[in-house]
Amino acid sequence: MSVSTEEQRIRNLFERVETIEEVAVTLPQGDDRRTRLLALSRGLLGEEATVRPVIAAKALGLSEKTVPRMGGCGPAHSRPAVAAAVA
């Protein structure tokens, strides 16, 4: 998959997750629907193995060299750290 195709796919994922979270936070804290929506957003992000440093750098507005230092890339790390920074 090309970098531009992957970048668009990741951006679309982040947009879907952001929409889910925007709806979730409108519900009361103890509401089971809120908990389920937030779990869904974490699950969607967790399905992604890693984000290429070049894509994470663009999304975060950082240099590509900075991204690996953040600990948000690589097989041992999940995307939520990057997604949280983008949001």
Nearest CA-CA partner of 24 in 11, 43, 49: 43
User: Which residues, in sequence order, are CB contacts of 71 under 8 Å at separation 6+?
Assistant: 77, 81
Residue 57 lies in domain: 3-86
Query: How much is the pTM?
Result: 0.69
| Number of domains into which the chain is organized | 1
Greater model confidence, 12 or 87: 12
What is the model's pLDDT at position 70? 63
Task: Tell me the pLDDT band of 48, cut-offs 50, 70 and 90.
Answer: confident
* DSSP H or E segment with residue 13: helix 3-24
Task: Please give the pLDDT value at position 79.
Answer: 45
Confidence of residue 26 (pLDDT cuts 50, 70, 90): very high
